[in-house]
Amino acid sequence: MAGFVLRRSLQALLVLWVMSFVIYGLIGLMPGDPLDVMIASNPGATPEVVAHLRAIYGLDQPMPVRYWHWLLDALHGDFGFSRTHSEPVLTVLAPALAQTCKLMLISFGLSVVLAFGLGVAAARKPGGWVDGFVSLFAFAGISVPVFWLALILIIVFAVQLHWLPASGMGTVGDNGFIDQLRHLTLPVLTLTLASTGQFTRYVRAAMIETMRMDFIRTARAKGLGEGRLVLRHALRNALIPVVTIMALSFGTLFSGALVTETMFAQWGMGKMIYDAILANDYNLALVGLLFATLVTLLSNLAADLAYGWLDPRISLK
Amino acid sequence: MQFRSALAVLGLTALLAPAAPALAAHDTLTIGIAQFPSSLHPDIDAEVVKKYADGFVIRQITAFDTDWKNSCLLCTELPTVENGLAKIEDLPDGTKGMAVTIKLKPDLKWSDGVPVTTKDLAFTWKVGKDPNSGFSNVNIWTRATKIDVVDDHTAVIHLPSVMVSYNQWDEILPEHVEGPIYDKATGGGDYLKTTSYNRAPTTPGLYDGPYMITEYQSGAQIVMEPNPYWSGTKPGFKRIILKHIENTAALQANLLSGDVDMVAGEGVGLTIDQVLELRKQHPDDFTYIFKPSLTYEHIDIQRDNPVFKDVRVRQALVYALDRKTLTDKLFQGLQPVAATWVNPLNPNYTKDTAEYPFNLAKAKSLLAEAGWKPGPDGICRNAAGDRLTFELQTTAGNRLRELQEQVLQSQWKAACIEATIKNEPPRTIFGETLKKRVYTGMVMYGWSSAVTESPLRTLGTAQIPNEKNNYGGANYIAFSNPEMDAAIARMDGELDRTKQKADWAIAQKIYAEQVPVVPLFFRSEPHIAPKWLRGYAPTGHGDFSCMWAENWHAE
């Protein structure tokens, strides 16, 4: 087990290194450079000033040289300076990461709990009215565009009912637990509704397949109670494909909640990465994307470890 | 079970009860902005949203007011040649320069109580002219060759030439806070990485305006409270919050829910069509102000394309467009049609230029004169059989411009001109297409200039971007006209108002006759303010209404 984790960690480091080069190169291929955004519509930016700024920012160097300098600094813990926030990259990253963690962990946890409940309920009697209702809910969640769902929730709960704030992360001068919870409610609800549908479909499909297996029939013939049968035997076996999907989704959630973050003015990782790419903020975009890659790798590692726990026949060598 | 239910109800009540934050007394003004400043340092770059945020907390020495007249904010009297505070002086090389006396108001203080003095002004000049500071917004201070500090409140700024903008001066920096940081900065660009405006924007002493920043969440919000050492009109709010909501649909919803009180109109909030729609749906809920601005929407023409070489074709392109109907239908006539880049509200505007009102017959006749006759497919052809066709580009995702494109395309088609739409993301348009002049047909976008700024950067020959100047200029149409260059050089150095206006008139006439671009209209800034807000007066130019934010108050 320890050897497996060590080997996978080393592989993750290699992937991160390769990804850093690929991302750096891809960002460099995009039109314009960081200074274009900075000097746009700036009457003071004469050609001489621009040339000097390019030298200051190291943009007069070829891309591989710039990457090499970045890598050396990164190995010393200096991930560079964010041009669009005028702060070191890690200083910008920390609050965005904290906000994303709050948003993602709550909505991911809620989605998983809801998906298991609904998926199992639907799988117990495929084609029944419960299954029909759950499928309708799941497909609605999958099909409804997130920005539209967010807007509807804002209009209903903030504009019409005045129950919850429409956006932001806290009230100035308050920022207590309840205040933060109130600001998190609508974005969490949006993300939860959007991701529960997909998870529910996977849980349902895996459970239906498992419930048809011989060992379930045997357990039922032996007189095992339905609740115990589902929870102890069927669900555990159905979890393996579901865990894979959830692990992949977890990584995506870290960088992919852009729409929800934008709609609710939650300054998290998705929005940070998106803004950094648009504004040609090389360092911030690079570190943000690398962090999202790292989360995906780690969640996959966690999924692999979970396989061994869920099915002891799977050996982690 | 009953206890649990009661607990759940209590929890829900706590969660939902303190709603409707904006229904409280109007001692806080929350302003929605769709962009967020990358820095608060006034000199690093020329971001519009940065200038907006700074307007509340840092004062320029001078600013153009709501009547578009230059006025003093930090100084006691605007320096002019007439009042003797500005003088033309002889320079050692035999040329003429200027000596401009700035008299700072004696009771000015930074937000930590330290007086604002000419020492700060001299420091700002030192930092501003240092190329290693890493500023792109340096023009204001690089104009000066020397500053003589006479006393704590009087300084003489020496200019190397006679320039019209001699009495336009920006914000000054607090030497007692920024001086030690600047002195410690070693390499190029070090200062901008360490300045307190970036690293600790709530530091007392950074601000000399009526408000100071007390809370700063990068990318999310800026909280401002009254500067206790401000000696002018007492600010009307205990708190002003700039709240960043990038999605404009969400921004509107926040306005309706009361989470934000107003939306800034200075190009950092909603677009005019969104505000017009909002006004239609909620006519009595807010005060709607549409302020004509200096932002000029137009279409650059690629003069290297043989199709556009003939001036008659360029003139026909404008005659074929019914721009009045376009602005009437799309913007309820609130955005006036432009004849040149100079807004009629500008003191340098002249009426005496060629104009091209909608005239389809004239457009067709000009095309015929230039050798373009309608072909079997309705599109004009020249003698060589080339079709009169070109690519029309704009910033993809800008719904208004995309709509305008369709109108223009259809109007040109009626005049046997074919425009094929090929849009690109803004960063591609500005980062590559315009900068390297690789567009083949036309590009539609807007540009903004200062009230008395000459067209040097957009029409001067020296400002044509090319490899040699590292694509540094903004003359994307490669307009090169010796008469225009001469007029620009004169208007930048002529202090006599009559002669100055004559040079501006020459430049506008050349522009109107040559049609280097297709002029469309001047944008109107759409401001949405709460009904209870008083003292709010949008300017329409780059010195924003927030520079007089101490006059804003609730009814």
pLDDT tens-digit profile of A26-59?
Answer: 888 877 777 776 666 565 567 777 777 778 777 8
CB contact under 8 A, A36 and B45: no
Least CB-CB distance to B457: which of A43, A50, A178?
A: A43
Confidence (pLDDT) at A43: 53
- Report the length, in residues, of chain B: 555
CA–CA distance, B159 with B251 (Å, rounded to integer): 45
How many whole angstroms from its chain centre is CA B12? 46
Distance between B20 CA and the closest CA of chain A, angstroms: 5
Q: Which residue has better confidence, A253 or B283?
A: B283
Express as a percent the part of chain B with pLDDT over 70. 95
- Contact criterion met (CB below 8 Å) for B374 and B403: no
CATH number, residue B80: 3.90.76.10
Give B80-95 pLDDT, tens digit per residue: 999 999 999 999 999 9
Q: Do A262 and B247 touch (CB under 8 A)?
A: yes
pLDDT tens digits along A113-150: 999 999 999 998 888 999 999 999 999 998 999 889 99
Q: What is the pLDDT of residues B480-510, one digit of tens each?
A: 999 999 999 999 999 999 999 999 999 999 9
Q: What is the DSSP string of B66-98?
A: TTS-EEESSBSS---TTTTSEEEEE-TTS-EEE
Query: Is B6 an interface residue toward A (CB < 8 Å)?
Result: no
Cβ of residue B436 closer than 8 Å to a chain A Cβ: no
User: Which residues on chain B are in Cβ contact (under 8 Å) with A54?
Assistant: 470
> Could you tell me if B27 lies within 8 Å of chain A, comparing CB atoms?
no
Contact A44 B188 (CB under 8 A): no
Any residues with CB less than 8 A from the CB of B156 and at least 6 apart, and which? B99, B100, B101, B102, B147, B148, B150
Q: Which of A31, A150, A155 sits opposite B428 (nearest CB)?
A: A31
Residue B502 covered by a domain = yes
Residue B151 β-bridge partners: B154
**Same domain membership, residue B297 and residue B435:** yes
The two structure tokens encoding residue B40: 């608060």
First to last CA, chain A: 7
Residue B251 lies in a domain: no
Number of residues assigned to chain A: 317
Query: Residue B75: is its pLDDT beyond 90?
Result: yes
Cβ separation B46–A155 shorter than 8 A? no
Please report how many Cα atoms fall inside a 13 Å half-sphere around the Cα of residue B421, on the Cβ side.
16
**Are B296 and B343 a contacting pair, CB within 8 Å?**
yes
What 3 state SS string does B274-318 have? HHHHHHHHCCCCEEEEEEEEEEEEEEEECCCCHHHCCHHHHHHHH
Contact call for B16 and A38, based on CB within 8 A: no
Q: Is B220–A166 a contact, with Cβ atoms under 8 angstroms apart?
A: no
Contacts of A186 in chain B (CB under 8 A): none
Query: What was the pLDDT predicted at B166?
Result: 95
A259-306 per-position pLDDT tens digit: 888 889 888 888 888 888 877 888 899 999 898 888 888 888 888 888
Query: Does B459 contact chain A (CB < 8 Å)?
Result: no
Q: Do A150 and B250 touch (CB under 8 A)?
A: yes
Among residues B131, B162, B191, the one where a domain terminates is B191
Look at residue B147 in the predicted model and tell me its pLDDT: 96
pLDDT at B464 over 80: yes
Residues B155 and B298 in one domain: no
Q: Do the Cβ atoms of A86 and B219 come within 8 Å?
A: no
Contacts of A45 in chain B (CB under 8 A): 46, 136-137, 472
Inside any domain, residue B469: yes
Whether residue B55 lies within 8 A of chain A, CB to CB, comes out as no
Q: How far apart are the first and last CA of chain B?
A: 51
Final residue of a structural domain among B191, B211, B233 = B191
Same domain (yes/no): B507, B376: yes
Q: In chain A, which ranges are E strands?
A: 81-82, 87-88
Q: Residues B402-418: pLDDT tens digits?
A: 999 999 999 999 999 99
Integer Cα distance of B510 and B353 in angstroms:
8
> Could you tell me whether strands B62-64 and B286-301 are parallel, antiparallel, or unpaired per DSSP bridges?
unpaired
Q: Confirm whether B285 is domain-assigned.
A: no
CA B529: distance to chain centroid? 20
> Are residues B297 and B186 located together in one domain of the fold?
no
If you average pLDDT over residues B276-305, what whole number do you get?
94
Q: Which domain holds residue B111?
A: 60-191
Neighbours of B176 (CB within 10 A): 15
Q: Is residue B349 part of a domain?
A: yes
pLDDT in tens, A234-258: 888 888 888 888 877 777 776 658 8
CA–chain centroid gap for B182, Å, is: 29
Taking only the tens place, the pLDDT of each residue in B23-55 is 456 899 999 999 899 889 998 877 889 999 999
Q: Tell whether B449 lies on the interface with A, counting CB pairs under 8 A.
A: yes
Q: Is B117 helix (H, G, I), strand (E, B) or coil?
A: coil
Q: Report yes or no on B256 lying in a domain.
A: no
Nearest to B110 by CA among B178, B49, B169: B178
Residues of chain B with Cβ-Cβ distance to A173 below 8 Å are 239
Task: Select from B19, B45, B249 the Cβ nearest to the Cβ of A42.
Answer: B45
Structural domain tally of chain B?
Answer: 2
Facing residues of B298 across strands? B445, B519
Q: Is residue B393 less than 8 Å (CB to CB) from chain A?
A: no
pLDDT at site A275: 85
CATH number, domain of B421, equals: 3.10.105.10
Q: Retrieve residue B182's tokens.
A: 């600047």
Are B111 and B204 contacting, i.e. CB atoms less than 8 angstroms apart? yes
Q: Of B191, B226, B246, which one is at a domain's C-terminal end?
A: B191
Structural domain includes residue B196: no
Chain A residue with minimal CA distance to B456?
A43
pLDDT of residue B20: 46
Q: Report yes or no: B270 and B247 within 8 Å, Cβ to Cβ.
A: no
DSSP collapsed to 3 states, B372-388: CEECCCCCEECCCCCEC
- The predicted pLDDT at position B21 comes to 46
- Residues B297 and B156 placed together within one structural domain of the fold: no
pLDDT at B475: 92
Reduced to 3 states (helix: H, G, I; strand: E, B; else coil), residue B157 is: strand
Q: Going along B406-516, which residue ranges are E strands?
A: 418-421, 442-447
Classify residue B298: in a domain, yes or no: yes
